[in-house]
Amino acid sequence: MAKKQQKRTSTMQRPQLGDSVKILDAGSVIENNITDTLETNYMPYAMSVIVSRALPEIDGFKPAHRKVLYTMYIMNLLKGIRTKSANIVGNTMHLNPHGDQAIYDTMVRLARGNESLLVPFVSGKGNFGKSYSRDMAYAASRYTEAKLEDICTELFADIEKNTVDFVDNYDATTKEPTLLPVSFPTILANNTLGIAVGMASSICSFNLSELCETTIALMKNPQHELASTLLAPDFVGGGYILYDEQDLQKVYETGRGSIRVRAKYNHEPNGNMIEITQIPPTTTIEAIMDKIAENVKNGKIREINDMRDETDLNGLKLTIDLKRGQDPDKVMQKLFRMTPLEDSFSCNFNILVHGMPRVMGVREILNEWIIFRTDCVRRRTSYDLEGKEKRMHLLKGLEAILLDIDKAVKIVRETQEEADVVPNLMMGFGIDKIQADYVAEIKLRHLNREYILKRIQEIEALAKDIATLRDILESPAKIKKIVMDELAAVSKKYGEPRHSEIIYEIPQSEDDDVDEAIPDYPVTIFYTREGYFKKITPQSLRMSGEQKLKEGDEIITQIECKNSSELLFFTNKCQVYKSRANDFADTKASVMGDFLPAKLGMEDGEVSVCMALTEDYKGHMLFVFENGKCGKVTMESYQTKQNRKKLINAFSDKSPLVYAEYLHDETELAIETSAGRMLLVGTAQIAAKTTKNTAGVNLITLKKNQSITRIRHADTMELANPHRYRVRTLPAAGALLRAEDLAEQIQLTM
C-alpha cells in the first residue's frame, strides 16, 4: 500500500521540460515526452489564436469582423434596407462556427450606435449599448436591425474582380475572402484590441482625413514627416489628447508607447457643478464613479457633495455637485490625478502581415498597406484587361461575318449536323472556336447589318481601354496615382473633423498638487530598521501602549510632523520614492504598520536606507561614500512639478553609500575611521550641488584597506579638546583619538 501511495505522489509532481509524462487513458499508461505534447497539442492552438482570431491583418480586420461584414455584403445590405440582426447572425454562421452570441457581440462593436469605432461599418436600429458604459447592455439580436454603412462601399469595391484571394469556409460549402480590398487604411482608422497567446495588439484610431492625407504624402515622399499631417490619435469618444512630441514620435516610429487622454468637462462661472461629457477610451463611466466614490470614502477627496450619471439619448454626461466655495478647475485637476478621468492608451501595433505577427510603427504600417492596396489595384486592372480582351476577341469574330452575312446563314442552314456548325464557321471565316461559338449563338433576329455594326463600333472604344489598362499595368507610377486619387476621394466624401482636441501646452498649475485639499493635522511618524512605517495621531499615541514591532526590529526614526508633510525614501538602488504622510492611513501603536517596499512598489531586493521629511524642500541631502567622498545635494533638486512618485539617480553609485541624512540646518559631523582617527567636519564646509547623482567632494583621506566606521553628530559627543579634530581645509586625514576621548566613546558604546 505504501509503495502504491509513493508512486501516486511521484506522478503528481510538476514535469520538467524534456521529461516523459505518463498519461492515463482508459486504463492504459502511455509514455509521452512533454515537448512532443506541447508541439502537437499546444502550439497548433496558440498559432490558431494568433493567426485566425486575435490579431488584425493589414486590411484592418480580425477574421470575425471580416466574416460578419462579408456576410452582410452578400445579403445585399450595402444598398438594401435593414434586416433583423438575428438574420445576419444566422447567415454569418456559414462562415463563423463560434456561436451566435460571439457573432452578435462582434457585430455590435462594429455598429455606429455602440460608439466603439471612429469609422463605424454597421448602421443599426435599436439599442446597441454604449462602449463607455459597463452597465448599459445592448438589446438581443431579435430586437435590433442592421445594414452596412455607406463607407463599406470602400471595403467591397471590386471584390468580384479578383482583387483578393478567396478560400473555402470551414466546411467547404462556400467561399470567403482572406482580406477585404479596402481603399483606405482601415487598420489605423479604428481602435483594435486583441489578446493572443504570448502576444497582444492595441491599435489607436486616427482621423480619417489626416490618415488619407498622410498616406498620400508618404507615397509621394517616403521620408515625409508624419507628425506634420498625422497630428495625433483621434478617439470616437473625444476628450483631450495631451500632446507629448517624444511619446508620439516613439509610437509613430516603433508602434509602442502611450498616449495620455483627458476627459472633457464644463461648468458655469462661479458654479458648484461640473458636467463631464467626454471620457478617455480606456475606461467607463461606472469605473470613474467607483473610483471617485472610493476616494471620497477614504477621505482623499473632500470637495464633492454628490454625483449623478445623467447619460441619455443626447450622449454621455456625468454631473458632479461640489461643496460651496470649491474651485471646479482645481477639483478637476485632482480628479485627473486620482481617477481614470485622465488615462493612458497603451499602443502595441502588432499586426499580421502575410500570416506573420509584426510590431510596426505607423510609417511601416502605411507602407505595408500601400503595397497591399497597390497589388489590389494591379489585380483589378488585370481582371478588367482580361475581360476587355475577351470581349474584343469575340467582336473580332463578329466583324469577320460582316463581310458576308448570307454566307454565314448558308453555312448554318446547309450543315447537316449541329455539331458541325462551329467547325464549318471556323473554316468558312477563318475564326477560332470561341469566336465561332459566339457567332453561332446569335439569335436569328440579330443577323442584320444594323445589330452587327453597333457591336463592331465597340471595338474602337475597347481598343482604347485595352491600351490604357496595359499602360497602367506597365507603369507603377500610374497605379500609385490611382491609389492616391481613391484616398483623396475617400477623404473628401467621408472625412470628418477631429473628435479629440489636442492640448499642446499644459498649464503648469494643472500638474501642481492641490495642497489645501489634503487634510492637515499633527501626526507622529515611526520608521523601523526593517522598513515598517506607522503614522499615529497625538490622541491615539496618548492612549496607546507599547509599540508593536517585528521580532528583532527597532524604531530608528520618530518625528512629529503634519499630515501634509512630504516623505522621501532613498533606497540601496540609488532611487528615491516620494509620497505624503497623507498617503498612509492613520494607525495605532498596536499594529506593525505598512511595509514600505510593498507599499511603495519597490523592486526586488530594494530597501530604504534613509527617510527624509520636508514641508518646503529647504536644506540639503548629505551622502557620505565609502571612498571618502561626500555629496551635498540641495533638497530642491528632488522637487518635481509633475508629482512624480519615483526618481532614479537619486545619488551617486560610483562608491557604496555609508551614511545619508537630511539636513534642514547646517551641523557638525564626527567621522571615525578604522585607523582610529576622527575628523570633525562642519557641513557648511561642503559645497552644495544641484546635480542629484554628483560624485561629491573629497572629505577624508583614507589609506589602502581603511574605511569609515562611524558617523555621528558632534554635538552628541563629549570631547576633551574638539578643536584637535577640526581642520580648515578638506580633505584631511583627521587626528588620532586620544585616550580620554577613546574611553568616553567606549563608555557611550557600553
Q: Which residues are catalytic?
A: 143
Compute the half-sphere exposure of residue 396: CA atoms within 13 Å on the CB side of its CA.
14
In angstroms, the Cα distances linking 432 to 394, 416, 454, 538 are: 10, 21, 22, 108
d(CA 262, CA 241): 7
| 8-state DSSP, 53 | I
Do the strands 145-148 and 200-203 form a parallel or antiparallel pair, or are they unpaired?
A: unpaired
Report the C-alpha gap between 153 and 490 in whole angstroms: 10
Place of cell 438581443: 140
User: Which residue from 291, 403, 352 is spatially nearest to 50, judged by alpha carbons?
Assistant: 352
**Backbone φ and ψ of 703, nearest 5°:** -85, 175
Going by the DSSP 8-state scheme, the letter that residue 137 receives in this structure is: P
Is the Cβ–Cβ distance between 235 and 260 less than 8 Å? no
Backbone phi and psi for residue 633, each to the nearest 5 degrees, phi listed first: -115, 130
Give the type of residue at 263. Answer: A
* Phi-psi sector, 59: left (phi>0), alpha (psi -120 to 50), beta: alpha
In 247-302, at which residue ranges do the beta strands (DSSP E only) sit? 256-262, 264-267, 273-278
DSSP string for 360-382: --HHHHHHHHHHHHHHHHHHHHH
Give the integer Cα–Cα distance in Å for 138 and 110.
13
Q: How many helices (H) and strands (E) does the chain have?
A: 21, 35
Q: Contact at 8 Å (CB) between 566 and 662? A: no
DSSP state of 675: T
User: What is the distance between the alpha carbons of residues 465 and 471, in angstroms, rounded to a whole number?
Assistant: 10
Q: Across the strands, what pairs with 24?
A: 29
Neighbours of 76 (CB within 10 A): 12
State the Cα–Cα distance between residues 167 and 612, nearest whole angstrom. 68
Tell me how crowded residue 283 is: count the other CB atoms within 10 A of its CB.
Answer: 20
Residues 734/714, Cβ–Cβ less than 8 Å: no
Q: How far apart are CA 604 and CA 278, in angstroms?
A: 39
Find the angle CA(54)-CA(57)-CA(61) to the nearest 5 degrees. 75
As a whole number of angstroms, the distance between CA 694 and CA 649 comes to 9
The grid coordinates of residue 289 equal 464613479
